[in-house]
Chains A and B, each alone.
Chain A
Amino acid sequence: MLSVNAFSLSLDGKALIKDLSFEIASGQVLSIMGPSGIGKSSLLHFLSGSLSPNLITTGEAFLNNQALHTKSTQERKVGLLQQMPLLFPHMSIIENLLFAIPADIKKSARIDMAQDALEKLGIPDKANALPKELSGGQQARVALLRTLLSQPDYLLLDEPFSKLDPALRRDVRAFVLNEIRHANIPALLVTHDPEDAKAMEGDCLELGILISTLY
């Protein structure tokens, strides 16, 4: 369970978010929507521990009742998926996946895990391909599986579907939701697109107008 209590955010003395609280159960996705500049991405950065120093925040975050906001990024075991898949362009697909799998797992097991992920993606033949050889949709899926292979305790999604064309978007949304449920971790999605929020089949919080809607 990921919970945020009384989160407030201000920039240059101007309050952007006030007293925001929510909870996300494992395997569930909470979607956050709202106009640009309202502080949606900053909320994600607060949870990932990479907030810009010129933003002032108050509030607390907990994961399974353990305080998150006092931990460094490295200690948090957070997965973050952004608009850009950020696959390392100089590594093959399997190297990208292996990069994320913890080093304390045996080498043969790590290779099996990466190969299973490739099977799941339906691209076992692309193990040695470079990211640029994959389509946009394939790259987005690899990026998600790479993040999940790092075995995060919770997942943050920052408009991960916005760069995909509409036909692909539907497939990738379903894939992401399925994988999050399978990993059984809480996830927070920030998006502009109501269709994204609808597809995640969870709660949706709309910032700026201070109402929350359940789709």
Chain B
Amino acid sequence: MPSKNAKWITGIITLLLIFPIFIGLIGTLLPAFAYFPPLGEYNFSLAPWRSLFSQGEFYASVKLTLITGIAAPLLALWFALSLLAWGYQRPFFRKVEALLSPILAIPHAAIAIGLLFLLSPSGWLVRLFSPWLTGFDRPPNWITVQDPYGVSLILALVIKEMPYLLFVMLATMKSIKARESLQVGQALGYSRFTLWRKVLIPQLYPIIRLPIFIVIAFSLTVVDLALVIGPNTPSTLAVTLLRWFNDPDLSMRLMASAGAIALMLVIVVVLAGWELAHLSFSKLSRAERSNGKRSGLTDNLLRVGVALGLLCLLNAFVALALLPIWSLTRRWRFPDALPSQWTWDNIERATPLLMDLTVNTLTIALIATLMACVISLIMLETKRHSSKGSSLSKPHVFDWLIYVPILLPQIGFLFGLHVLLIYLNLNGDLCAIIALHLMYVLPYVYLTLKGPYLAYEEEYLLQANRLNHRPWRNYVLVKIAMLKPAIFTAFAIGFSVSIAQYLPTLIAGEGRYSTLTTEAVAQASSGDRKQVGSMAMLQAFFPIMVFWLAQFIPPRWTKWRLALDALFSKKNRRNNKCSV
């Protein structure tokens, strides 16, 4: 891509990314200090904070947020490290790796709904053991989901976060020379788990610190997952804030804004605490690393982690399998393990609604992801162009800012941004929804494309330009065509991120545009498992399909294209002969 104005292009796109976040933060910060002109509040004061601190629910919500937001990433990290230590470089682990991408692709809400079907008192787990073991002929009066301690929410978060961390860790294995370290260590007589504990995990942690922070920030602020499977009286702080923001009493918005700022402070405190804990832990364990013991009792921690990690994965797959089962169920009485009658009626009945939701969902996801791909390509090409002669790995300010939308809690600035949308008369507009989706899709697409794009062997394009003096055509026909696998993967990731968006759709769309995700979350507690199952199934189907296509098409593209060319040239030849 011939780009002469690299600095300008980077600057404008960076501004376009940062401007809405900045406005959103201001739009939350000012009401938190009682300045909110739409409600006639023009005087700064601490009143919203005083109301916030006088709410008993606030403290209960913060407590729950801390429990779920710290336990989930801690467990996810433990299980992911254990699974990696157990399986890395073993042939069967390739199969486990292949199982990760569907879980990564599926929206959180779909997994939460599947877990609801699995773990609730009338769920499949209790059915499986009833009545022959439990003696239950009706669902027990237990609280297994939406429990007051947030255990089911923690489980759902772990199921979603563990594969992500595993995926990130696998990508770093080469840079820490894991295979070589394992060979050397095992030759010295160290057991596999001890080697991971003493040699590899300490090297791995600094590299994956940022993804861990993203996971922690997500766990502390997640809304859709917590709405479906989290506790509700009280709920986690993000869900409580959503309720306050949506309260018909508009003055609650001031307290909610103060709560949103408090949530951001909670993130900062938890991240600082996490880092401090890591520093203390690594200081304490340093002496143990060089004590020469070839195995140790602590290895068992990793062994237990493997068992629990596998159990989580199993849970995820059973939960996902339950989505299509429920959508095809006519009659499924407790305690039957499977439906006694099957039907397509549920899907047929839901088809008009599902069609509408699917059209909205796909329109938003396709446009936002295509835009994110184009912007990422422009940014990366200008980055490559501006780093000529210097190191490509030198980070540009955009490389840091791109993390801001992922790290900041959505609830912290989306409501502030909503005020701007109302001001611009863009509230409830499809363009506004796409723009907000783009803000969340862009970081994932950019970060996925960055590695392969900057590693591209530029000599191919230079050679193309020497052979054929049409730079734009060469850029598309040679560079973009050769980067197809990376672009397809980035597209699939961006698409699945867009499909999963709940709060941006809800806030920008104001209910005028529903997607599969917003509707599935809204109906999750309705009790109509057949309809919710159909929605969640579709919600899971599209990302999996796009992920599969992204893996399937690029290696076959050239072969298919050449076969089609051959077919058409044969046809043309035959037609020419006829005309002669």
Contacts and interface: CB of A to CB of B under 8 A. Distances in A.
Interface of A: 48, 50, 52-54, 73-74, 78-80, 82, 84, 86, 88-92, 99-100, 102-103, 128, 130, 146-147, 150, 152
B468 A100 contact: yes
Q: Tell me which of B460, B463, B469, B566 has the highest count of chain A C-beta atoms within 10 A of its own C-beta.
A: B463
Given A88-B482, A90-B482, 17 more contacts: A54-B389, A73-B466, A80-B466, A82-B459, A82-B463, A86-B459, A88-B460, A88-B464, A91-B558, A99-B464, A99-B468, A99-B477, A103-B470, A128-B562, A147-B466, A150-B467, A152-B466
Nearest to B479: A88
Interface string B369-413: 000000000000000000011000000000000000000000000
Q: Tell me which of A48, A78, A99 has the highest count of chain B C-beta atoms within 10 A of its own C-beta.
A: A99
A74 B558 CA distance: 29
B355 interface: no
19 contacts: A48-B466, A73-B465, A78-B466, A80-B463, A86-B460, A86-B463, A88-B482, A90-B481, A90-B482, A90-B557, A91-B558, A92-B562, A99-B464, A100-B467, A103-B468, A128-B566, A130-B558, A147-B466, A147-B467
B198 interface: no
Nearest to B557: A90
A54 B389 CA distance: 7
A195 B121 CA distance: 82
Contact of B388 (A53, A89, A128): A53
Interface string B460-501: 101111111111000001100110100000000000000000
Interface of B: 388-389, 459-460, 462-471, 477-478, 481-482, 484, 557-558, 562, 565-566
Contacts of A54: 389
Contacts of B459: 82, 84, 86
Contacts of B468: 99-100, 102-103, 150
A82 B458 CA distance: 13
Nearest to B482: A90
Contacts of B562: 92, 128
Contacts of A89: 482
Contacts of B388: 53
Q: Tell me which of A53, A54, A90 has the highest count of chain B C-beta atoms within 10 A of its own C-beta.
A: A90
Q: Nearest 4 pairs between A and B by C-beta?
A: A100-B467, A150-B467, A86-B463, A74-B469
A78 B462 CA distance: 12
Nearest to A97: B467
A50 B388 CA distance: 12
Contacts of A103: 468, 470
A16 to B, nearest CB: 17
Instruction: Please report whether the interface of chain B is mostly helix, strand, loop or mixed according to DSSP.
Output: helix
Contacts of A86: 459-460, 463
A103 B467 CA distance: 11
A130 to B, nearest CB: 7
Nearest to A50: B462
A26 to B, nearest CB: 20
A135 to B, nearest CB: 20
Contacts of B481: 88, 90
A2 B565 CA distance: 41
Nearest to A130: B558
B14 to A, nearest CB: 25
Instruction: Please report whether the interface of chain A is mostly helix, strand, loop or mixed according to DSSP.
Output: loop
A91 B484 CA distance: 13
Contacts of B465: 73-74
Contacts of A128: 562, 565-566
A91 B562 CA distance: 9
Contact of B389 (A50, A53, A79, A99): A53
Contacts of A146: 467
Contacts of A92: 558, 562
A152 B471 CA distance: 17
Nearest to B554: A90
A59 to B, nearest CB: 21
B472 to A, nearest CB: 13
A79 B460 contact: no
Contacts of B462: 50
Contacts of A90: 481-482, 484, 557-558
A146 B466 CA distance: 11
Nearest to B559: A130
A150 B478 CA distance: 16
B466 A150 contact: yes
A73 B469 CA distance: 9
Given A84-B459, A88-B460, A90-B481, A52 B389 contact: yes
B206 to A, nearest CB: 32
Given A50-B462, A54-B389, A99 B467 contact: yes
A82 B457 CA distance: 13
Nearest to A146: B467
Contacts of B482: 88-90
A102 B482 CA distance: 22
A166 B186 CA distance: 41
Contacts of A53: 388-389
A28 B153 CA distance: 76
A74 B562 CA distance: 30
A90 B560 CA distance: 11
B478 A88 contact: yes
A82 B467 CA distance: 13
Contacts of B466: 48, 73, 78-80, 147, 150, 152
A91 B464 CA distance: 12
Nearest to A80: B466
B460 to A, nearest CB: 6
A148 to B, nearest CB: 10
Contacts of A88: 460, 464, 478, 481-482
Contacts of A150: 466-468
Contacts of B478: 88
B558 to A, nearest CB: 5
Nearest to A55: B389
B246 to A, nearest CB: 51
A99 B468 CA distance: 7
A82 to B, nearest CB: 7
A116 B336 CA distance: 73
Contacts of B484: 90
A114 to B, nearest CB: 13
A181 to B, nearest CB: 21
Nearest to B463: A86
Q: Tell me which of B388, B468, B477, B566 has the highest count of chain A C-beta atoms within 10 A of its own C-beta.
A: B468
A152 B467 CA distance: 8
A187 to B, nearest CB: 15
A182 B197 CA distance: 66
A103 B477 CA distance: 15
A56 to B, nearest CB: 13
A110 to B, nearest CB: 12
Contacts of A91: 558
Contacts of A48: 466
Q: Tell me which of B459, B477, B482, B562 has the highest count of chain A C-beta atoms within 10 A of its own C-beta.
A: B562
B296 to A, nearest CB: 49
A53 B477 CA distance: 27
A152 B465 CA distance: 12
